[in-house]
Amino acid sequence: MSQPQFRTPKGTHDVLPEDQQYMTYIKKAVRHRARQAGFKRVDPPIYENRAIFERGIGAHTDIVEKELFLVSSKQSGDDAAELALRPEFTAGICRAYIEHGMQLLPQPVNFYAIGPCFRHDRPQKGRYRQFHQFDFEVIGLKDASLDAQLIQVLTKILSDLRILDRLTLQINNIGNSDNRKMFAQAVKDYFIGKERHLPEIDRNRLQTNPLRLLDSKEEDTQILLKNAPRLEQFLDAESKDYHATVLDYLETLGIKYVENPGLVRGLDYYNQTVFEFWDQSTGAQNAVGGGGRYDSLMELLGGKPTPGLGYACGIERIIWHMKEAGVQAPNKDNVDVFVAQLGPEAKKSCLKLITDLRELGVHTVGALGEASLKSQMRLADKFQAKYTLLLGKMEVKEGTIILRDMKAGKQKQIAFKQVVPMIKKLLGERNLDTYTLKDQLGPGEVDDD
């Protein structure tokens, strides 16, 4: 085969039908658990004013420093980019909360979001430039029970997707910003005279964001950190109390966790609770998701002081885990009936027949080309159709049609008038795909895939 002229850009991929089954299944689990717990869906735009990410996420984080995709129009020129593709949802959702005056709603306001995010990362396994997240945010009220409740919703989703037992919940409390300032200063003091032993990346972090050293993947840094001051030494009584209460609630809910004092999460806006779900075998690398409390983010974005709590999960990584665990997402793209025909009259009748079957909720395809019956039958086989209907010139004349059971390899001639009720009976009413129709007509909500 010759090389295609165009391919997907580096770090992106087509979500092909096989993975759509997983995507749909995951979205359904998320929506279901979100509704149960009073979360409403919000879709912030895919790009926002870049300052929202720079201020919200923090100028000295990898996401903003290296990974932001800037967006500009031809008119504005590259240098004038004021917009950036969203690398995550939280900052945009908080901007929406402020913009739409949602502090007037009953608090907390619970949101969830599902969609693509963009980071100019170095592509590798589980790390893409366009990837999908589902995200939960609890804004406007601070209480340790909300942290525990959010974690519970997430464990329910991961358990619905049958991957919870492959993961561990890692949790920590990183205190308030004063605690962290004191800690950052202590770390800086500790490293005076030792900087040259640090890898360059962490030498820079020491100046800009010392907290990041704690979750550094550099071995030299981790060795040096063994005798460094520890964050928990700087936590105030309130943070310690808060943490103990969250853990207590998790125990009440029967949720297993691992206390991890090295967990800080990379972003500036977190305070108090931070947590991640890690792959049991690979740990921090390829975490399926992470989140925490962000009680000062709203102010950074120009809003009133408002507590917040959020979590984001990478959908590609979940799909990977589901496949590894042998979880097969239900496939609803099966073909029930293949319609084969020969001759212009038959073609016309089939066109109407195909429409009638589809209306009934039967997954129906028909080649309707000029190919021979034999090659149409081969196609029916490839589509793995349950039944094939054959209409040739003779059958049109006689007002009949041939119905072939593909698995049994048996066929019979029936009256053309009988074919729709016959297919309905053979498939069984409950297997008819009337899902979309019901959703749109009923009083319930419209499917928001």
Binding site for ligand AMP (CB under 6 A): 88, 119, 121, 126-128, 131, 133, 287-290, 312-314, 316-317
Of the two residues 122 and 412, which places its CB atom closer to ligand AMP in the complex? Answer: 122
Length of the chain: 449
Please, what is the minimum distance in Å from the beta carbon of residue 288 to ligand AMP? 5
Please, what is the minimum distance in Å from the beta carbon of residue 136 to ligand AMP? 12
Of the two residues 173 and 388, which places its CB atom closer to ligand AMP in the complex? Answer: 173
Of the two residues 84 and 377, which places its CB atom closer to ligand AMP in the complex? Answer: 84
Q: β-strands 387-391, 337-341: how paired?
A: parallel
In this structure, what are the phi and psi dihedrals at residue 399, rounded to the nearest 5 degrees?
70, 35
Residues 6+ apart with CB under 8 A from 295: 142, 271, 272, 305, 306, 307, 308
Of the two residues 267 and 342, which places its CB atom closer to ligand AMP in the complex? Answer: 267
Interatomic CA distance for residues 182 and 187, integer angstroms: 9
Residue at shortest CB range from ligand AMP = 314
Of the two residues 158 and 187, which places its CB atom closer to ligand AMP in the complex? Answer: 158
Of the two residues 236 and 324, which places its CB atom closer to ligand AMP in the complex? Answer: 324
Torsional sign, CA 329, 332, 336, 339: negative
Please, what is the minimum distance in Å from the beta carbon of residue 319 to ligand AMP? 11
What is each CA distance from 437 to 26, 255, 285, in whole angstroms? Answer: 22, 39, 43
Please, what is the minimum distance in Å from the beta carbon of residue 63 to ligand AMP? 7
Crossing angle of helices 344-360 and 419-427, in 10° steps, is 40
Please, what is the minimum distance in Å from the beta carbon of residue 299 to ligand AMP? 21
Residues 6+ apart with CB under 8 A from 411: 390, 402, 403, 404, 405
Tell the residue number behind the tokens 């060795």, with chain if given: 223
Please, what is the minimum distance in Å from the beta carbon of residue 41 to ligand AMP? 18
Whether omega for the bond prior to residue 108 falls within 30 degrees of 0, making it cis, is yes
